[in-house]
Structure 1
Amino acid sequence: MSEVDPLPGRILIVDDELAMREFLSVCLGRAGHHVTTAKSGADALRVLSDDSIGFDVVITDLTMPGVPGMEVLRHARALPHPPPEVIMATAYATTDTAIEAMKIGAYDYLIKPFKIDEIQLLVQRALERRCLSTENRRLREQLKGVDALDRMVGRSESMQKVFDLVRRMATTRTNVLIRGESGTGKELVARALHNLSDRADGPFVPVNCGAIPEQLMESELFGHVKGSFTGAAGDRQGMFEVAGGGTLFLDEIGEIDPATQVKLLRVLQERTIRPVGGNEEVPVDCRVVAATNRDLEAAVESGEFRQDLYFRLDVVRIVLPPLRHRPEDISLLVERFFDRFNREMKRELIGVSRDALDWLLAYDYPGNVRELENLIERAVALESTATLTADHFPSRRASADDVGRTPSAFPEDGLDLDARLADLERDLILAALARSGGVRKRAAKLLRISFRSLRYRLQKLGIEVGRSAEG
């Protein structure tokens, strides 16, 4: 018998002949393998379907009463990756059956009777192949993890903690609530949680709850059946069903109305939905990741947000720090955005000037990373010299932008803070409306706030926008 350095594995032997099962059990058991036997194809399917047992190699007879070996092969190769290697064994081999087995995914084909060293060597090679498949999968998972976090840039301690929490939570199904100011990258975190999970092959479905009208929210999330309301010309899947097998990202979760909050809580508890106008419960299988820039605790206190829903969503919390609290990350982000836009716009700028970097380091970024990205994109597009300068960054007016930055900028007689902030808010909203041609939804998008929030601010400030401006 040839010398084989044994690589131990979990082996399933499927054969309706007791003598063959005992022969292979002794032969492979002595080689250090853990052997399980099944006396029929039906028994083999039951054993293979047990999630607690993972086999490395299956040796199955081809011709058996009831469930044949080909069905065992199909079932084994359909198991989650990496599936076990399957060796077919038969005393009645034909070219057609051998070709069919190899097409389905059999590792090899043995003709009975076979020698002990022959089967031991074949099992060893099958184990080596499976080991290689497992290692390749592990390396792909590592590379996927690098790619998933690649767009999230930060060397600061606070961001390193975020990265660590994302990696640890990605492998669970636990509900995650992402907190952070507008522009801090909450959707990037949600995508990283999805891409690092075992649901990465499924869909990632983002839903901006602040952009959906209240009367359409239930239909958008849970779907509807034909004729359930005016305009429902046919059945339509909701986002919970669309995200089946993947991740549903509910952005601006604090904007959903109380009635939808009740229904959302039930879905999270029961894992079923009822489409608008429907009578049957539909099971759903998706992970829910939510995000908000609102103070949900205050919303719960005021009765705007259900406490039970808040606790259901806030199982694990990931808090994204604003950019002004992690200045050590600004240079890294500037480099990343500069390289990206320089390449995308086919510019040939050679770098960022000292004055531009100083300006960027001194700014406090109320719009966070998204604002920094927009600043760099605009500057790269407009720059006419060899290096990126500060010439195309916004001018900094002491009266509005720099009040409180330095003692000299603060008026000696003081100021009315609420009035000053209201004036600044009014100026920015009017500027956004002008830029959007008076279309309020576009203006809200420019201001990085929900349409509902803009509508409230317009009423508060007494700004009227004509019906025609809605487009």
Structure 2
Amino acid sequence: MRTRQETRDLIVMSVAGTELAGELDGLAQQGWRLWKAEGVDDILGLLKARPRTCFAALLDLRGADPRQAESTNLDHLVPALTATRIGWVAGVVQKQLEQPWLRQLIHHYCHDYVTLPCASTLLGVVLGHAHGMAVLSSGDGQDQADGPDDAMIGESPAMRSMRQMLQKAAATEAPVYIAGETGTGKELAALAIHRRSARRERPFVVINCGAIPQSLLQSELFGYERGAFTGATQRKLGRIEMAHTGTLFLDEIGDLPMDSQASLLRFLQQGSIERLGGHEEIHVDVRILSATHVDLAAAVAEGRFREDLYHRLRVIELRQPPLRERGGDIALIAAHALSHHAREATRRIRGFSPCARQAMQRYAWPGNVRELVNRVRQAVVMADGPCITAQDLRLEASDLCAPETLDAARCEGERAAIERALQRNGHRLAVTARELGISRVTLYRLMARHGLRDREVTVGAIRRS
């Protein structure tokens, strides 16, 4: 059964009346709702009729007369090409890329381009990125019904899978443990679970177990009575009690001291607490979510974390993917960060230069989303030009910004497309070849040309080890 989030809207318009054959059928099967437009008026009318909808749009430029295009300057298309709720992708044939007017059109108005005919799976990925950019540009985020995912930006397979798991976890009352590296957005995932759950109207309380001194952690968790210790002049409720009927998120649970682990385990077993200095058993109804960047299984093996508490917390385990595994999400998150912090700039920033986009894709992002957002924010303030460069982001540009020929650009685009397809399909060559619309023999040849065969061998060796 197709979920509501999987349905996205796609506008298809041809400037020369050409027809797409199997691509549209394949896109419909991927969950795209198709809208065919004969001209700009159709598109503007659709935007007016659906004021809360964001669209991807495929502009089929095959057969366009370059002389006619230059004479009209495509002025009649500008109102549609500049609409904030539409992410445009140009469809061309390879030889058209040599025409200056078309390159200029793609540069100014489109998020990407594809050469047609194109495999529907690859086309769906490119259109998905354009749709995501349209959502960011609109400023509306997702539909209000999908509010929990507003801050969890991404269209990569890893993030789509994560959203599906979040939805399933939210439908239960079982404790959820969220694993992931620092900066991947574990708290956002916990908040998404809460907002999708039956407790969404109740409190969502967060406590960072690694940020509170050990001497204060017990009182922060369980509260205390007046006179419980020197300076306790009045009763204070703990975080657990404050979350009654709602959700308690224990961040960095791996840093919880052993004595607090015992107290937390007792609460999970009995469903009640005692405030420090008190004797009354207080029943608390709360859903527990926890997260940490450390390997809890290793901590259990080393005696730093209680095994019984580990199994109590880890009824459902989710893994927040690191940014380096999310491919095109890097560009989406960077664009969102730029939009959010643009007001801090002393001049108008148009976007990211080609070398910045390439540098972001090639960087490993050890600090994940948090590092990306911080680098973009600093670049917004420090950039001297209209576009953020790799140097502004403090990333190694090397030869990325060097002038390149059209043949070099095509070669780089081909290599990147193959590499992304291999990552999406777990380096399974037969599946990757089918997605790219080529034979397996051709894929072998292209991988050898772009130096990807050695990398493939390395990946295979790692998986067999």
Taking structure 2 as the reference length, the TM-score comes to: 0.53
- The question of 1:316 aligning with 2:316 is answered yes
* Paired residue secondary structure (1:155): coil
Please report the RMSD computed on the Cα atoms of aligned residues, expressed in angstroms.
Answer: 1.9
Give the Cα separation in 2 of the matches to 1:268 and 1:145: 32
Conserved 8 A contact 2:359-2:395: no
Conserved 8 A contact 1:221-1:239: yes
Give the Cα separation in 2 of the matches to 1:301 and 1:272: 29
- The question of 1:169 aligning with 2:169 is answered yes
Conserved 8 A contact 1:355-1:390: yes
Q: Which residue of 1 aligns with 2:226?
A: 226
Q: Aligned in 2, Cα 1:302/1:397: closer, same or farther, shift over 3 Å?
A: farther
How far is 1:331 from its partner?
A: 1.5
Give the Cα separation in 1 of the matches to 2:387 and 2:292: 38
Letter in 2 for 1:210: G
* Paired residue secondary structure (2:210): helix
Letter in 1 for 2:349: L
Deviations 1:287-306 (A, max 9, x none): 11000111111111111100
Conserved 8 A contact 2:248-2:288: yes
Q: Aligned in 2, Cα 1:188/1:344: closer, same or farther, shift over 3 Å?
A: farther
Deviations 1:318-339 (A, max 9, x none): 1011111222321121222122
- The question of 1:355 aligning with 2:360 is answered no
How far is 1:144 from its partner?
A: 4.5
Q: Which residue of 2 aligns with 1:278?
A: 278
Give the Cα separation in 1 of the matches to 2:344 and 2:169: 33
Q: Which residue of 1 aligns with 2:365?
A: 365
Could you tell me the percent identity over the aligned residues? Answer: 44
Q: Which residue of 2 aligns with 1:293?
A: 293
Letter in 1 for 2:246: G
Give the Cα separation in 2 of the matches to 1:295 and 1:266: 23
Give the Cα separation in 2 of the matches to 1:180 and 1:297: 13
Give the Cα separation in 1 of the matches to 2:340 and 2:347: 10
Give the Cα separation in 2 of the matches to 1:345 and 1:379: 9
Deviations 1:329-357 (A, max 9, x none): 21121222122222565852222111111
The correspondence of residues 198-237 of structure 1 with structure 2, limited to 5 A, is: 198-237=198-237
* Residues paired across the two proteins, number: 257
* Paired residue secondary structure (2:328): helix
Q: Which residue of 2 aligns with 1:90?
A: none
Letter in 2 for 1:317: E
Deviations 1:391-413 (A, max 9, x none): 32225499xxxxxxxxxxxxxxx
Q: Which residue of 2 aligns with 1:330?
A: 330
Give the Cα separation in 2 of the matches to 1:304 and 1:332: 39
Deviations 1:17-40 (A, max 9, x none): xxxxxxxxxxxxxxxxxxxxxxxx
Letter in 1 for 2:254: G
Q: Which runs of 5+ in 1 are unaligned?
A: 1-141, 399-471
Conserved 8 A contact 1:144-1:196: no
How far is 1:178 from its partner?
A: 0.4
The answer to which of 331-340 and 234-243 deviates more is: 331-340
Structure with more contact order per residue of length (Cα contacts < 8 Å, sep ≥ 6) = 2
Q: Which residue of 2 aligns with 1:239?
A: 239
Conserved 8 A contact 1:221-1:238: yes
- The question of 1:187 aligning with 2:187 is answered yes
Q: Which residue of 2 aligns with 1:82?
A: none
Q: Whose Rg is larger?
A: 1
- The question of 1:379 aligning with 2:379 is answered yes
Q: Aligned in 2, Cα 1:242/1:144: closer, same or farther, shift over 3 Å?
A: farther
Give the Cα separation in 2 of the matches to 1:392 and 1:339: 16
The correspondence of residues 152-163 of structure 1 with structure 2, limited to 5 A, is: 152-163=152-163
